[in-house]
Each structure stands twice: as structure tokens, then as C-alpha cells.
Structure 1
Amino acid sequence: MLVKALKLNATVIAGSEIHDFGDSCTLVQGNKYLIAETCEYKRHFLDFNAERIVITSVEEDHLDYYRDIEDIYSAFETYGRRLPFRGTVIFNNDDAGAREASTRILKRRDDLVFIPYGISAEGDFKITGLEEKAGEIFFRLNCMEQVFKLHIPGLHSVGNTAAALAVVSSLMKKEELEKNNEVEKLLADALSSFRGSKRRSEIIGEASGILFMDDYGHHPTEIRKTLEGIKKFYPGKRIVADFMSHTYSRTMALLGDFGKAFESADMVVLHKIYASAREENKGDITGEDLFKEVKKNHNKVSYFKEVLDAYDYLKKALKAGDLFITIGAGNNWRLGRKLYSYFKNR
């Protein structure tokens, strides 16, 4: 949205479809810059020869490929060390893993420019004046006079926005574009009009007083932050979360964290683990194991092995004022669509 508003000579590749990109993952406005959302899985991000990188978070994940957190840090170190002379590392100072990865890169490459962002950051992209209201989040940055307003939930969204502003500010500086009040308002208006992307706290619709949402989050931290953000963004709503875990290796390695990820939900529905083609089921972990773990921390949890087996139960359980969200990288999104259709047409 910021690149589009500034009409920068750039192509953007996002990890999800965006309505303002014409329901596409890509925005093509030129070929001088390529801005891409990349992934550390199998070190895929090393296929990009970046001049600037953004590190939003680093923690244990993709453990079907990585040995441990040290192996993950090594991938990020390589990513940073490949930057050209005076390249830029923009990192989330509120995330311990992102700070650690940036520190390790700095030890190897003290010629690089390091730009922290976040509530705990110092410098231009420190987040200040944070205010969360029903349906809105307000904040400011040290380097700008403008108050920014978001209509998407979660403090993680504020952090991602600060990172995006750091990226475009860096590009504007390279292009020798002035950052005045008029430009700041242009950026603020673009952010205020943004309504998110597909499967990122996506609103499916509202029917019979029930708000239906869908989110791709499949790591415990993502789930926790998403639900915390939604709870504050939609005060007074009963949150019913349906989750389908993705990959046996992730579920087993992070079982304890998954068990604590749903505290902001009022009701939780779980299913079998959604298998990945990249691994085989050795029988060491099941959806029932996850159910038992979540029950240790939550008193309103149900388990239905097959996704659509929960349909009749939820038809009766959901009521006006609820927010029902499907979460995960599996196929439980089908349940949300089916329930939305039922309540819309009854």
C-alpha cells in the first residue's frame, strides 16, 4: 500500500492475496526495486540477493528441516552476511530472536546499517503513543509527525507497519524524495485504508450477528498474538477459535507452547494434525495429544478429529455476538465457510 501510494518504481511480492493489488499477491509498478516477503524454510530466502532485509521474528519452527534454533540463526546470519557493503538490516527490537539474529550479523558485518523498530526500539522507528480502541489502533513514530491509524487487529500489525515505513523511508532517501507533512499524510491515508490480506485475520463476513474470520497462523506465537489482538480489537465479543495444527514435527516440538496459545479465546475447537507431504507420520504425536495439552490451560476445549464433524456442534454453539475464527495452515477454513453460509441463509 505504501509503495502504491508513493508510486515507487517497484514490484511487490506479498505472501498472501491483497484486495488493493487486484486480489493478487503482486503489485507491479516498475522494475527498479523488488520488495518480497520471503521465508526461511529450507533457507529459501537465500535465493534473493537483497540490499535490505527486514527481520520480523526468529524462533523455533520448520524443525523438519532445521536441527534447532542455532541452525535457524545460522541461516539468518548467512542472509545478513550476504548483504552488499553498507546494506541495511531492519529488525524488530521487540522480538528476542530478531535482536539476536541482528546482533550476530553485526559481529560479522559492522559496515551494515542497522535500523531497529518497535516499542522498545530507540531511534527513528520507535513506536510511541500507542492506543488500541474498538476497531482501530493509533500510534506514532519518532521520525514522523503524523499519527497513524490501522483498521487491522494486533500489536504485531503495528510492528509490521513500522517495518514497512522503515523500508519505504529507506527507499525514499535513496531516491532523494522529501518526506514532508504532505507525504506523511499520504502514507497515513494508505495505511488507514488497508483492510488486510487473505488469510491474515481475514473477515469472511457477518451473519446472524456472528463475525466469521480466517487466519493462516500456524505457529504458537502467531496464534497467541492474533487472538490477543482480536480480543482487544473486538471487545465484548465471545471468541470461538477453531484450530488445525500443521505438520507432526512442529506440533511435537512446540506442543507446550501450543497448549498456552489459546488463552485469549473463550472456546477452542481442535482437530487431527494436517499432514505435510514433506514428512511422514511416525505415530509419535496426534491431534488428541494437542487436545490434552490445550486442556491443561483452557476449560472450554472440544475435539473433533475430522474438520466437518464439528459443524453440527458449532451450529448449536455459535450465537449472536460471537466471533468465530478458523486458524491454521490446514483445511479447516472449509468449516468457517460452511458455517457462514448456514447462518447467512437460515
Structure 2
Amino acid sequence: EYDRSFLQLSPNVACITSMDADHLDIFGTDDELKKSFREFAAKLKPNGKLLIRNGLPIDGITYGIEDASDYCIANIKVENGTYVFDIKTPFELLKEIRFNKPGRHNLLNGLAAFAMASQAISNTKKLAGALETFKGVQRRFSYHIKADHLIYIDDYAHHPTEIDAVYEAVKEMHPDTTITAVFQPHLYSRTKDFIEDFARSLAKFDCVLLLDIYPAREEPIDGVTSLWLLGKIQNDNKKLIDRTELVNEIKRCKSDILVTMGAGDIGLEVSKIKNELAYAN
């Protein structure tokens, strides 16, 4: 949606997963962003179906977790890193469904896919069974090392809400562990717009390593730097680093879990980090 290109679509079935303020360099204000989603909803074909995450300020078929949504996940438990749960639909209750991708945000996305598919396919038991086969996509809570002594996860998270989701997923799947977060901010405008939210989200981690802002399509904004963000993070164990220092600084933090996050070119460092840490351990 970042450049309003989704307004060129006219789908039979659509889903809105989030309307969080973002891409304000394009939309200008949060209100304008929400307006664009309402315009998108109006572009559905006649008799089209719109699914929305429960709580969003727009009408549609709702989905959610442990709430009163039309499509609702209930009775969640975690067994060996796998979610096991029931799905309540407007027509039936499907029990003991399994989903292997960690994180409630990923679980919500799986439910959204199920709810969308069920608008076109009547065999809901087959759809529910297919959820267990989903292996995820690259850079979305991707495990690169999963050993007793170290876990390394890489994620595309580049918005405070996404960083929160990654943190919560790690804590749910790996309680009582320490976490190092390596974060590369993406866009000067996003960093400026959400500086306080970024600081609060990153402060939750045990060790925070910041890289310089990845500019993408933007020119620098005066005063908007990773050093500015670093100063806002209420955490004594934090540092702004160059990517040449990355592996050594990660080792210095000595955490149980490493998470790298960002939408820039930090993904190019993943293989190098993985190889260096695997060799060191």
C-alpha cells in the first residue's frame, strides 16, 4: 500500500491485516492512510468479501485470537514449538489444528489465509490441515541457528509494531532467555515519525546493537540518525556499530538468542553472521 498502488486492484476477496500508521512520507497523515484503506474496500467487486483483523476501524468479516471474531482461534497451546488450537468459524468448530510458524502475528496471518480461502473452498477441514504444512517465507521469523547454546532468528521487522511482535514471539517460544537485537532502521522519515515508539520497542531487549539508517529512496533528514535513536532507548546495554564490527559485538553481548531485524540490506549479513557464529560455537 506504500504508494497507493493497491487502489488499482478490484478483488473478489480481500483482507486488511493492519492499518498502523506507516509510509507517512507518502500519505502525510494517519488519517489519509486510513482513508486509502476505505477507498480500497470500496473497490471490491459486487458481492466481494472483505476480511479484516478484529478491531480495525472498517467494516468486514472479522478474524482474531481469543475474541468474538467471525473467524476465531481459541484454546491455544504450544507443543514443542508448534501452536495447537481450535478455529471457530461462522458455521463450525475445527479442533486441534497445528501451525508451525512462531508468533501470534504469524498465527493471525495463517488464520486470515484460512478465512480468505474458505470464501472460495468449502472443504474447511482440508484447508485447516494445510496450515500445518506452511513453512513460512524468507526473513519472517526465520531460524538460522537453533541449537542448545544459541538461537539465531532473522526477521524483516522495520516498524515498531513488528518489532514488538518479534519480541513477543521469542518470549513465547523461548521463555527465560536473554535476547540481543540487531536493528537497521529503514528510511529517515519512518525513523523520525516513530522515534519514540522505536525506542520503547527496542528497549525491551537485553542487548541492542544499532546500524546506520538504510536510506532506500530517501535523502538524509537533518538530525535524524541512528545515534539520535540510540539516545532515546532506555537500556544501558546498547551501542551504535558499523557492520564491520557486527559479529564481534554480537559475541560480546553473550545472549541466548540473537535477532536481526530491518528491511534494508541487513539481510545480506545473515549468512556471514550465521557462519561466523556456527564456527565460533
Tell me the TM-score normalized by structure 2: 0.91
Question: Quick one: which amino acid aligns to residue 87 of structure 1?
Answer: G
2:101 matched to 1:152? yes
Residues 295-317 of structure 1: per-residue CA shift (max 9 Å, x gap)? x2x3322221x222232222343
* CA distance in structure 1 between the partners assigned to 2:249 and 2:148 by the alignment: 17
Unaligned runs of 5+ residues in structure 1 are 1-39, 104-113
1:1-346 alignment runs, 5 A limit: 40-93=1-54, 96=55, 99-100=56-57, 102-103=58-59, 114-119=60-65, 121-122=67-68, 124-143=70-89, 144-172=93-121, 177=122, 179=123, 184=125, 186-206=126-146, 209-277=149-217, 279-294=218-233, 296=234, 298-304=235-241, 306-318=242-254, 322-346=256-280
Tell whether the 8 Å contact from 2:9 to 2:43 is kept in structure 1 after alignment.
no
Residues 253-304 of structure 1: per-residue CA shift (max 9 Å, x gap)? 0011101113542211111111122x2113231000111112x2x3322221
**Helix, strand or coil at the partner of 1:171:** coil
**Helix, strand or coil at the partner of 2:175:** coil
Residues 228 and 90 of structure 1: is their aligned pair in 2 closer, same or farther, counting only changes over 3 Å? same
Residues 86 and 133 of structure 1: is their aligned pair in 2 closer, same or farther, counting only changes over 3 Å? same
* CA distance in structure 1 between the partners assigned to 2:62 and 2:15 by the alignment: 10
* CA distance in structure 1 between the partners assigned to 2:77 and 2:168 by the alignment: 15
Question: Quick one: which amino acid aligns to residue 145 of structure 1?
Answer: L
Residues 39-63 of structure 1: per-residue CA shift (max 9 Å, x gap)? x111111122211110101011011
Tell whether the 8 Å contact from 1:245 to 1:274 is kept in structure 2 after alignment.
yes
* CA distance in structure 1 between the partners assigned to 2:211 and 2:183 by the alignment: 7
Superposed CA RMSD in Å reads 2.0
Residues 190-231 of structure 1: per-residue CA shift (max 9 Å, x gap)? 222322110000112346832222110100001111111111
Tell whether the 8 Å contact from 1:124 to 1:141 is kept in structure 2 after alignment.
no
Tell whether the 8 Å contact from 2:213 to 2:226 is kept in structure 1 after alignment.
yes
Residues 268 and 46 of structure 1: is their aligned pair in 2 closer, same or farther, counting only changes over 3 Å? same
Residues 189 and 126 of structure 1: is their aligned pair in 2 closer, same or farther, counting only changes over 3 Å? closer
Tell me the TM-score normalized by structure 1: 0.74
Partner of 1:25: none
Residues 196 and 302 of structure 1: is their aligned pair in 2 closer, same or farther, counting only changes over 3 Å? same
Residues 41-95 of structure 1: per-residue CA shift (max 9 Å, x gap)? 11111122211110101011011111101110111111011112221110000xx
* CA distance in structure 1 between the partners assigned to 2:174 and 2:97 by the alignment: 19
* CA distance in structure 1 between the partners assigned to 2:147 and 2:88 by the alignment: 41
Residues 147 and 311 of structure 1: is their aligned pair in 2 closer, same or farther, counting only changes over 3 Å? same
Question: Quick one: which amino acid aligns to residue 84 of structure 2?
Answer: F
**Helix, strand or coil at the partner of 2:213:** coil
Following TM superposition, by how much is the alpha carbon of 1:327 offset from its aligned partner in structure 2, in angstroms? Answer: 0.2
Following TM superposition, by how much is the alpha carbon of 1:130 offset from its aligned partner in structure 2, in angstroms? Answer: 2.0
Question: Quick one: which amino acid aligns to residue 289 of structure 1?
Answer: W
* CA distance in structure 2 between the partners assigned to 1:192 and 1:237 by the alignment: 27
Question: Quick one: which amino acid aligns to residue 118 of structure 1?
Answer: G
Residues 134-162 of structure 1: per-residue CA shift (max 9 Å, x gap)? 51222212123222222211111121111
Question: Quick one: which amino acid aligns to residue 310 of structure 1?
Answer: L
Residues 266 and 133 of structure 1: is their aligned pair in 2 closer, same or farther, counting only changes over 3 Å? farther
Partner of 1:4: none
**Helix, strand or coil at the partner of 2:3:** helix
Question: Quick one: which amino acid aligns to residue 79 of structure 1?
Answer: F
Question: Quick one: which amino acid aligns to residue 299 of structure 1?
Answer: D
